[in-house]
Structure 1
Amino acid sequence: MRREEIADLAAFHVVAEQRSFTKAAAKLGISQSTLSQIVKRLEERLGVLLVARTTRSVAPTEAGKRLLATLGPTLRELDQSIEMLAEFRETPAGTIRITSVEHAARTILSPAIAKLLPQYPGLNVEIFIDYSLADVVADNFDAGVRLGSQVAKDMIAVRISPDIAMAIVGSPDYLRLRGAPLEPNELTEHRCINLRLPTSNKLYAWNLKIGGRIVGVSVEGQATYNSIDLILDAALAGVGLGLLPLDQVQAHLDRGVLVSVLDVFVPPLPGYYLYYANRRLNSSAFRVVVDALRYRGEPAAEG
Structure 2
Amino acid sequence: MKKTDLSGLVAFVAIAKERSFRRAAARLGVTPPTLSHTMRELEAQVGIRLLNRTTRNVSTTEAGEHLLAKLAPAFTDIDTALEGLNGFRDQPQGLVRINAPRTAIELVLVPHLGRLARDYPGITLEIVAEEGFANIVEQGFDAGIRLGEDLHNDMRAVRVTPDLRFAIVATPEYFQRYGRPEHPEDLLNHRCIGWRKIASGELHKWHFKKGDQMLSVTVNSPLVLDDARLMLQAALTHAGIAFAIEQEVREHLAAGRLEQVMAEWCAPFPGFYLYYPNRRNHSVALSTVINVVRYPSQTGHDEE
- Please indicate the TM-score interval, normalised by the length of the shorter structure: 0.5 to 0.7
Task: Give the structure 1 partner of residue 276 of structure 2.
Answer: 276
Residue 234 of structure 2 corresponds to residue 234 of structure 1: yes
- CA distance in structure 2 between the partners assigned to 1:252 and 1:224 by the alignment: 22
- 8 Å contact from structure 1 (residues 194, 204) kept in 2: yes
Describe the SS at the equivalent of 1:280: coil
- CA distance in structure 2 between the partners assigned to 1:217 and 1:114 by the alignment: 41
- CA distance in structure 2 between the partners assigned to 1:84 and 1:129 by the alignment: 30
- CA distance in structure 1 between the partners assigned to 2:184 and 2:138 by the alignment: 40
Letter in 2 for 1:145: I
Task: Give the structure 2 partner of residue 119 of structure 1.
Answer: 119
- CA distance in structure 2 between the partners assigned to 1:258 and 1:250 by the alignment: 9
After superposition, the C-alpha distances for 1:99-123 in whole angstroms (9 at most, x for unaligned) are 0011110111111122112212221
Per the normalisation by structure 1, the TM-score is 0.68
Residue 155 of structure 2 corresponds to residue 155 of structure 1: yes
Describe the SS at the equivalent of 1:164: coil
Deviates more, 1:211-220 or 1:134-143: 211-220
- CA distance in structure 1 between the partners assigned to 2:298 and 2:256 by the alignment: 31
- CA distance in structure 2 between the partners assigned to 1:290 and 1:180 by the alignment: 42
- CA distance in structure 2 between the partners assigned to 1:135 and 1:208 by the alignment: 29
Quote how far apart the aligned CAs of 1:210 are.
Answer: 4.8
- CA distance in structure 1 between the partners assigned to 2:294 and 2:140 by the alignment: 22
Letter in 2 for 1:239: A
Closer, same or farther in 2 for the Cα pair 1:235/1:273, shift >3 Å? same
Describe the SS at the equivalent of 1:121: coil
- 8 Å contact from structure 2 (residues 86, 284) kept in 1: no
Letter in 2 for 1:125: L
- 8 Å contact from structure 2 (residues 159, 298) kept in 1: no
Pairwise mapping of residues 19-58 of structure 1 onto structure 2 (< 5 A)?
Answer: none
Describe the SS at the equivalent of 2:280: helix
Task: Give the structure 1 partner of residue 65 of structure 2.
Answer: none
Letter in 2 for 1:226: D
Task: Give the structure 2 partner of residue 26 of structure 1.
Answer: none
Consecutive unaligned residues in structure 1, runs of 5 or more: 1-82
Pairwise mapping of residues 7-18 of structure 1 onto structure 2 (< 5 A)?
Answer: none
Describe the SS at the equivalent of 1:281: coil
Identity %: 37
Task: Give the structure 2 partner of residue 173 of structure 1.
Answer: 173
After superposition, the C-alpha distances for 1:76-121 in whole angstroms (9 at most, x for unaligned) are xxxxxxx999726463111100000111101111111221122122
Task: Give the structure 1 partner of residue 265 of structure 2.
Answer: 265
- 8 Å contact from structure 1 (residues 163, 299) kept in 2: no
Quote how far apart the aligned CAs of 1:269 are.
Answer: 2.8
- CA distance in structure 1 between the partners assigned to 2:299 and 2:267 by the alignment: 14
Quote how far apart the aligned CAs of 1:203 are.
Answer: 1.3
- CA distance in structure 2 between the partners assigned to 1:165 and 1:298 by the alignment: 18
- 8 Å contact from structure 2 (residues 189, 220) kept in 1: no
Letter in 2 for 1:149: E
Closer, same or farther in 2 for the Cα pair 1:131/1:85, shift >3 Å? closer
- 8 Å contact from structure 1 (residues 99, 129) kept in 2: yes
Task: Give the structure 2 partner of residue 61 of structure 1.
Answer: none
- 8 Å contact from structure 1 (residues 162, 299) kept in 2: no
Query: Which structure has the larger Rg?
Result: 1
Letter in 2 for 1:190: H
After superposition, the C-alpha distances for 1:147-178 in whole angstroms (9 at most, x for unaligned) are 00101001001111111121000111110011
Quote how far apart the aligned CAs of 1:268 are.
Answer: 2.4
